[in-house]
Amino acid sequence: MQHPAIKSDTFIVNVGPQHPSTHGVLRVRLLMDGERMLDLEPVFGYLHRSKEKLEEERTYIQTIPITDRMDYLASMSNNLGTCLAIEKLAGIAVPPRGGYIRVIMNELQRLASHCFALGTFLQDLGAWGGPLMYFLREREKIIDLFELVCGARLTYNYMRPGGVSQDLPPDFFPKCRQFMQDMPKYIDEYEELLLENEILQIRTRNVGILPRDLAINASQSGPMLRGSGVAFDLRKEDPETLPYDQFDFQVPVGVGPGDCFDRFWVRLQEMRESVMIVLQALDGLPAGPFKTSVPLALRPPAGDAYAHLESPRGMLGFYLVSDGGSSPWRFHVRAPSFINLTVLREMCVGHTIADLVVIIGSVDITMGDVDR
């Protein structure tokens, strides 16, 4: 606390972009009094990739690999959201086996994304190396499963309108099942190491509070919204596009004030639920075709369609407009990283500049998902 007799001048500080992946996408303009943030303006720049415009110059099938590069830590989810919108626009049905495979891939992607989010978040707190390696240890095993399915480890191009590009190979089932049986023990290990850690508690409790009403009014979603105590999850609220209504799972919500710790805890618990969903999907995987045959030069009738799903970062939506041609007339993405960053000012004002890094880390953003 500053002594009342001491007068200090406020000053402006620009923070970032300093990470190789930001490329000018995020700069934070701070009004500071000492180390205390009095005001904040997040400045969203440009990634110079124009993904939405590129989608409008390609056929509907060719749009899928471009979505890999948006949220590159949740490529499967981006592929899936694109296909859901195309299917809604063109009236394409997905066979039951294809739907189950999509759920398996989407939940494995959630696990892999949360592993990276939590590990790098702990790095933001100053826990260099150790905890991140624990989380990356499990993430690599999931990436091995993705490579087994489609041959890629980051950008997958696996989803297709009507299902998936190829069926699951025989080797996938025992390896995936064994990992899902082991994963709860790893999550127990994370909790034992972290939840009572004094540094984690001090740096995250009552830091970056996002009140419930503000989270709702600012259209937050995913762990950002659920960390503030709102049990909203598209897997429960809108299960029509994916067969989540056939699985038994819970929606973890924060029980605190909606701070950085709540968001950390929610992601950790969501990993347990994803494990349960994958095991149920493996046990109940239907026989039959894994996709519906769709022409390469797909020409949906003129009209528009919007489809969304629960990605690791929240509500990921795709809006497509067709003029009857082989390419989308309009292709727009509702990116959760972009929307979730809009409450950064409200979460940061009053905290110190050291807390800024922690709060941004708790949002879990991917820069390709902020600007397209």
* Res. 367 pLDDT band, cuts 50 70 90: confident
pLDDT tens digits, one per residue of 278-335: 999 999 999 999 999 999 999 999 999 999 999 999 999 999 999 999 999 999 999 9
Q: Spell out the residues 6+ positions from residue 145 whose beta carbon is closer than 8 angstroms to its own.
A: 108, 172, 175, 176, 179
pLDDT of 178 above 90: yes
Quickly count: other Cβ atoms within 10 Å of residue 202's Cβ: 11
CATH 1.10.287.620 correct for 60-370: no
Q: Dihedral (C-alpha) 144, 147, 149, 151: value to the nearest 10 degrees?
A: -170
Give the pLDDT score at 214: 98
Give the pLDDT score at 16: 77
Half-sphere exposure of 175 (CA within 13 A, CB side): 15
Nearest residue to 235 via CA among 315, 342, 128: 315
- Amino acid symbol at 28: V
Give the pLDDT score at 21: 55
User: Once rounded to an integer, what is the mean pLDDT over residues 43-58?
Assistant: 83
pLDDT tens digits, one per residue of 226-255: 999 999 999 999 977 899 999 999 999 999
| Average of per-residue pLDDT values in the chain | 93
3-state secondary structure of 323: coil
- State the pTM of this model: 0.94
Give the pLDDT score at 240: 77
**Angstrom distance (rounded) from CA 302 to CA 148:** 38
DSSP-assigned letters across all residues of 44-107: E---S--HHHHHTTS-TTTHHHHHHTTSTTSHHHHHHHHHHHHHHHHT----HHHHHHHHHHHH
Q: Domain residues of the chain, as ranges?
A: 60-370
Give the pLDDT score at 218: 97
Give the pLDDT score at 164: 98
CB-based contact 338:106 (threshold 8 Å): no
**Angstrom distance (rounded) from CA 174 to CA 170:** 8
